[in-house]
Amino acid sequence: MLQRNTLLAAAAACVLAAAPAVAQQPVEIQFWHAMGGALNDWVDDLAKGFNDSQKTYKVVAVNKGNYTEVMTGAIAAFRAGKAPHIIQVFEVGTATMMAAKGAVKPVYEVMAEAGITWDPKAYLPAVVGYYTTTDGKMLSMPLNSSSPIFYYNKDAFKKAGLPDKAPATWPEVRAAAKKLQAAGVPCGISTAWPSWVLLENFSAWHNLPFGTLENGFAGLGTEFQINSPAHVTHLERIAEMQKAKEFDYGGRRGDSQVKFTNAECGMYLQSSAGLSSILKTAKFDVGFGMMPYWPDLTKGPNGGPQNSILGGATLWVLGGKSKPEVKGVAEFFAYLSKPDVQAASHQRTGYLPITLAAYELTKKQGFYEKNPGFEIANQQMTLNPPTANSKGIRFGNLVQIRDIFEEEMEAVFAGKKTAKAALDTSVQRGNALLRQFERDNK
């Protein structure tokens, strides 16, 4: 009897001793992202900030390469039953993630399951709209969103006798390019992310449809409309500028950035997320402005531009996770949405502030007066209430389709194809991939 009691007591002691140990062991949340260099430090700091703010959960942020590598890596891990909790997916992967019902857990469900009161209206509509279903349900949590803005070399502008302000329209850009060239600058303007800037954002900025069914938001049966006369004229004119190097193509993604920072081109169209690196590498004064528009092509209000659309990435939650893990993810998202966390991220990286509160806070802190470039993306996004043509785009197989659009544009800039022929082929080849996506996701 005594023996049994001792045993019981010992067992009880063990349980008591073990209990705090169990409670101290935080729930681990795996977070795979694609942020390299300075942005990697930023994500690490976000995770650290969250981990220091509480003891129950621990977010482990891991860089898994570039955007496509993160996505394919996560998919492979999912198929092997070892999926991370959170993955960062770029905007073009949105349709693929949306179609993967069962593999992903929409953010609105995550928040509801965790019982966190949370208002989707606190986020910038232009940002959230891109990642929301047509009936208003938010699917993923915006982390880093940006929009292309206009950069110019102030020193070169001064040398060429140009006024110190960004040209508002493309004809003005062309005139400035000619003056820059006369002053010895080899090229006028270049662009990063050719399809995103010259096609996707061109369409939204001029309020022209990119595809049918509200740019793909309203269904999988969508088709591209980028061979409209306005699109063809736009590309024809850019191609004409390419001949005289008034515009000079510098490759896909951000490959062309050296052209601007090396002062080879006096003007540049690049994501607002390029702000910090451009300011760091350029050895001249950098000026900013909104993207130029064609006054004769725009269908925006009062013959001006409409609003720009975003790029960047959001956080998707993968399914099949336990309750405490889901709760941890929700807590992390709530932390990320705090105005002070958001505002700090925005000011550090040049990405858009995701919530209205963060935007107001940054304004109140007087940040924009000292750093004028950081507000432009936001001003562009919110210039006018988004229309069906300017709230974003949503197409399946978009990674491939963007490559097709860019290679067709390359053929135009190389003088091998006319703008009309290239855009017609783009539509035809793009539509074939849209039909394939429709068949695969019935």
Check residue 259 for interaction with another protein (CB under 8 A).
Answer: yes
Contact with another protein (CB under 8 A) among 258, 279, 286, 356: 258
For residue 36, the Cα-to-chain-centroid distance in whole angstroms is 15
Contact with another protein (CB under 8 A) among 20, 37, 102, 184: 102
Check residue 251 for interaction with another protein (CB under 8 A).
Answer: yes
Q: Are 251 and 128 in contact (CB under 8 A)?
A: no
Report which DSSP code applies to 195: I
**Strand partners of residue 316:** 87
Q: Where are the beta strands (DSSP E) in 158-310?
A: 187-191, 265-271, 286-289
Contact with another protein (CB under 8 A) among 75, 183, 286, 356: 75
Contact with another protein (CB under 8 A) among 55, 82, 101, 137: 101
Q: How far is the CB of 62 from another protein (least distance, A)?
A: 19
Contact with another protein (CB under 8 A) among 399, 418, 420, 435: 399
Site pattern 81..100 for another protein (x: CB under 8 A):
---------------x--xx
Query: What is the Cα–Cα distance from 205 to 297, expressed in whole angstroms?
Result: 10
Check residue 181 for interaction with another protein (CB under 8 A).
Answer: no
Pick 231 or 245: Cβ nearer another protein: 245
Structure tokens belonging to residue 225: 């409309």
Q: If you count them, how many residues does the chain have?
A: 442
Stretch that binds another protein, among 72-80, 148-156, 157-165, 365-373 (CB under 8 A): 72-80
For residue 388, the Cα-to-chain-centroid distance in whole angstroms is 19
Check residue 438 for interaction with another protein (CB under 8 A).
Answer: no
Pick 102 or 163: Cβ nearer another protein: 102
Q: What is the dihedral of CA 332, 334, 335, 337, to 10 degrees?
A: 130
Query: What is the Cα–Cα distance from 279 to 148, expressed in whole angstroms?
Result: 16
Report which DSSP code applies to 256: T
Q: Are 310 and 392 in contact (CB under 8 A)?
A: yes
- Return the H-helix or E-strand segment holding 360: helix 356-364
Check residue 418 for interaction with another protein (CB under 8 A).
Answer: no
Pick 137 or 416: Cβ nearer another protein: 416
Neighbours of 340 (CB within 10 A): 10
Q: Are 419 and 412 in contact (CB under 8 A)?
A: yes
Contact with another protein (CB under 8 A) among 40, 233, 379, 441: 441
Stretch that binds another protein, among 278-286, 301-309, 345-353, 396-404 (CB under 8 A): 396-404
Query: What is the Cα–Cα distance from 145 to 176, expressed in whole angstroms?
Result: 30
Stretch that binds another protein, among 122-130, 135-143, 150-158, 404-412 (CB under 8 A): 404-412
Check residue 55 for interaction with another protein (CB under 8 A).
Answer: no
Check residue 285 for interaction with another protein (CB under 8 A).
Answer: no
- Return the H-helix or E-strand segment holding 406: helix 398-413
Q: How far is the CB of 168 from another protein (least distance, A)?
A: 28
Closest CA to 438 of 223, 221, 211: 221
Check residue 184 for interaction with another protein (CB under 8 A).
Answer: no
**Which stretches of the chain bind another protein, using CB under 8 A?**
68, 71-72, 75, 78-79, 96, 99-103, 249-252, 255, 258-259, 262, 264, 397, 399-400, 403, 406-408, 410-411, 413-414, 416, 436, 439-441
